[in-house]
Amino acid sequence: MVPISPLDGRYGERLAALGAYFSEPALVGARVRVELRYLRLLHARGLFPPLSSAEQARFQDALEDFQDADLARVKAIEAVTRHDVKAVEIFLREKLQLQRPQAIHFGLTSEDVSNLAWSSLFRGYLHDHQLPLLDRLLARLADLAERWRDVPFPSHTHGQPASPTTAGKELAVFAGRLLRLRRQLAGFRFLGKLAGATGNYSAMVAAFPEHDWVDLAQTLAAELGLDHNPLTTQVEDHDTWARWFDLTRGLNNVIIDLNRDLWAYISRDLYRQRKAPGQVGSSTMPHKVNPINFENSEGNLELSNALLTLLSDKLCRSRMQRDLSDSTVQRNVGVAMGHAHLAWLECLRGLDRIELDPAACARTLEAHPELLGEPIQTILKVEGVPDPYELLREHTQGQAVTHASLMAMVAGLDISAGARARIQALTVGGYVGLAPQLADRIIAAVREEIAP
């Protein structure tokens, strides 16, 4: 089949690992494992007779080794039943050949199996790929922030030149934002539900009224690395899914902001990009090295966020006890996460290619001596000069300002020798406050957080 989505086509090789969490084979395999773990608990608790040694062997084989042929058989059954979870049940009856096959899918509704399968897959992606990729991004930002912690860097507020900063501190800002969200992601827990057709364990209790079915559900959820949702309708409410989508969307938004800032800095020649061998930036302009990684990242993040917003809104809603409008939608979680994953990789590639140009930064800063108006008027406030802000505004706003003209203005003021000396020592490039030390705090926090 020819791929329709670029995630499976153009970017398929880079995202191949995500198939283990978001593909149809992954979902079918996860459903099989949920059914088998539930079956094992039923037998372990004595609700059904013990499995024979031959049955145990077939059970273990089915649990540990779900093959392409098994998937094909499930899909062949589904083509007849037109029901994906029922197809898994029938497949397991064939595969296990139990003397008491009635234990398979005992008392369950399809959503019991599906919500546990999906949540276990999402948990796997979060810990196996999403969090490690975020840590790579954080580590790279921390390294660059440390490397350029002391390099004076032009700032802009409202697009206009503003008080200087350092290149390292500005990158540390993004690292700090991602770090806060990373802590939430690392501690995130999905919920799982196993309680029958309307969430009341009714069928299970009808058959075994004395058994602690809530405890069994808690045990199964824990085996899958999930927390137990104790009160539901037929469907698990997916409120935790929505929080995961929103948390991912928050991370995406920080990275969009980073992409756009770096794009702008590159356009101002404050950063250069190392080109890859043979790379072409334009079909007609041979000089170009485009910020393509940051642009690709931004576009994929915006697409991811649009899907995540829909998923977050849609999947925690269900008419009364159950409707199936969510079923086809939740199959697109991998699309939303795939675009985000690709975008994070692209941003990381972009960070690996950029090189700060300290000389260009210095030239830009030196061209704006009026930036010293802020520290001068602040020092003059301490000296008791009447309305120094207005004094500096009249001298700088909309005018051609030089360092010499600023110093000439100060020379006529009645201020202390110490204040005069501090003002005379000011340079635009040196006016960065605590920027390096602030960067250090985040760099240390990132490295402590993501240390092996």
Q: Which residues are catalytic?
A: 158, 282
Strand pairing class (152-157; 160-166): antiparallel
| Strand segments (E) across 67-131 | none
Scanning 187-291, the segments in alpha helix (DSSP H) are 202-207, 213-223, 239-267
Instruction: Pick the closest to residue 244 from 345, 351, 122, 107 (CA basis).
Output: 122
Residues belonging to the chain:
452
Contacts of 242 by beta carbon, 8 Å cutoff, 6+ apart: 311, 312, 313, 315, 316
Q: Which two tokens stand for residue 116?
A: 């546990």
Q: Which two tokens stand for residue 198?
A: 């309307």
Write phi, then psi, for 426 (nearest 5 degrees): -65, 140
Q: Which long-range contacts (CB under 8 A, 24 or more apart) does 122-126 make?
A: 122/21, 122/190, 122/241, 122/244, 122/333, 123/190, 123/224, 123/225, 123/226, 124/20, 124/21, 125/18, 125/21, 125/22, 125/337, 126/185, 126/188, 126/244
Residue type, 214: V
Write phi, then psi, for 104 (nearest 5 degrees): -70, 130
Give the span between the Cα atoms of 245 and 188, in whole angstroms.
12
CA distances to 116, 328, 342 from 336, in Å: 20, 14, 10
